[in-house]
Structure 1
Amino acid sequence: MDVKAGVLEIIQDVTGEDMSNQMDENLFDSGLLDSMATVEMLLALESRFNIQAPVSELAREDWDTTNKIVASVTSLMG
């Protein structure tokens, strides 16, 4: 399973933006993610990759770029 491609697809579904050329763009600072979009994205990531990512345990700065999301999902997949 290609984590990067899956994460990019989910981010595009949630935000409407293709982030493949902006992997280090801060998704919160750019206004692409807010609290509701973050929950939607996390639910999609959990479903797609069969991981558990409780919102209460996630620091925003660990999930603020596409690269960080890919790394976090990869680590949660174990």
Structure 2
Amino acid sequence: MQYGSIIAVYFVVWWLTFVAVLPIGARSHHEAGVEVVAGSDPGAPLKPHLVRKILLTTGLSIVFTGLLLWGLSNETLHAYWNR
């Protein structure tokens, strides 16, 4: 597989993983029992911990992309699915 294709696959896997990781540990104002400031959304997270989630997403995406590329290049799997 070419490097550009690998980067494109990683980019798609990263965004899918990021969307899956975003709600982990998120607590809204309503759930935390904190007073909602006028003009703010009551469902907005108090502390989104974005840096931690970006790092977790990056690590998971490297693993998922590696597994995906391994599965696509594995001849044993090709033989199994093409019976």
Larger Rg computed on CA atoms? 2
TM-score (norm 2): 0.30
> Looking at both structures, which has the greater relative contact order when contacts are Cα pairs under 8 Å and sequence separation is at least 6?
1
Q: Whose helix proportion is higher, 1 or 2? A: 2
TM-score (norm 1): 0.31
